A = this chain, B = another copy of it.
């Protein structure tokens, strides 16, 4: 082995709790003027938002073996993703993210260098989304890695979008394309099994860059929220797609007490997603409807607002909100109408 290949790994216990926190949060750049005090005291201190604005608060936890497998999830991507999925929750309220706190439970088997990798991803995401990392907790765990991020955001009070504002006649729209994240996950799972059976085998992941990126490093759609602001459009309802399109449509319709007609042929699906679906012998729309983890935005708008939307190419109209008595329906490819079934990914049920 060449000398350059010999990496030094530092045991977490060498730094101790305070040393570790100092090491991980050193040189954190603060970008939000509202951050009056970041890491380093019993709590962060945040200036209230401008007059007429409210604060948004959300949390998302990711656990090893449930939300990610370390065999194919680079730690840096994992750090990025835990922040991005929280930013996505703030986007889904039509808000702007401002601060995060991050708690991590790790086994003592982890090195300081592996925590550094997680933090590199966290800091990269914070920079991209202009969010300040203002606090956290790092503890050992008897077992798997668990990361919990809590996010604070803000929005003008009258522009906050809830799930329950959809009205019959509203257009049902989605950002980006759907099902790609699940396609990426499937590829990674197959690769893991193939390499597990024959460690000499190299996983064939070439040509699948898009779906792998959507799975490992999904981006929160802050650009869509910016477009709403620039176009002076406020969606009537919104949710981010973490559990599959079908499940999220049910959430909006149930909260808004409406029905819906989803047009299957209009659901945007990337060509790589289609390719993976076909290789697995399933219809691509199944990935889009039930795959989950796309972190695209599903929202409804007044039809009169459609022409106001600048860069409307970023979104796709996929259906229409109906009165509750019409039910939550899908117009399938075969031209027939069916009730829209939910087979969403369910963290607790599936595993």
Q: Which residues of A line the B interface, CB within 8 A?
A: 12-13, 15-18, 20, 36-37, 40-49, 53-67, 89-90, 92-93, 95, 99, 101-105, 108, 134-144, 146, 148, 150-153, 160, 162-163, 238-240, 255, 346-349, 351
Contact = CB atoms under 8 A, between A and B. Distances in A.
A51 to B, nearest CB: 8
B348 A64 contact: no
A238 B143 CA distance: 34
Given A42-B89, A142-B144, 16 more contacts: A17-B349, A18-B346, A36-B54, A41-B93, A41-B163, A42-B238, A44-B57, A47-B55, A59-B137, A61-B104, A61-B148, A63-B105, A108-B348, A139-B347, A141-B143, A146-B148
A46 B56 CA distance: 6
A60 B137 contact: yes
Contacts of A13: 348-349
Contacts of A93: 41-43, 45
Which of A66, A148, A152 gathers the greatest number of chain B CB atoms within 10 Å? A148
B58 A140 contact: no
Q: How many copies does the complex hold?
A: 2
B63 A135 contact: no
6 contacts: A43-B151, A45-B56, A63-B146, A66-B139, A66-B140, A143-B144
Contacts of A61: 103-105, 137, 139, 148
Given A137-B60, A346-B17, A43 B90 contact: yes
Nearest to A147: B148
A269 B42 CA distance: 24
Given A141-B66, A348-B20, A135 B58 contact: yes
Contact of A65 (B53, B64, B142, B162): B142
Nearest to A242: B42
A164 to B, nearest CB: 8
A116 B41 CA distance: 33
Given A139-B63, A148-B148, A53 B48 contact: yes
Contacts of A140: 63, 66, 347-348, 351
A105 B17 contact: no
A103 B148 contact: yes
9 tightest A-B CB contacts, nearest first:
A143-B143, A43-B58, A150-B150, A42-B92, A48-B48, A65-B142, A61-B103, A148-B148, A43-B56
Contacts of A56: 43-46
A131 to B, nearest CB: 13
Given A138-B348, A144-B142, A347-B139, A55 B45 contact: yes
B17 A42 contact: no
Nearest to A154: B48
A289 to B, nearest CB: 17
A17 B101 contact: no
Nearest to A52: B48
Contacts of A67: 139
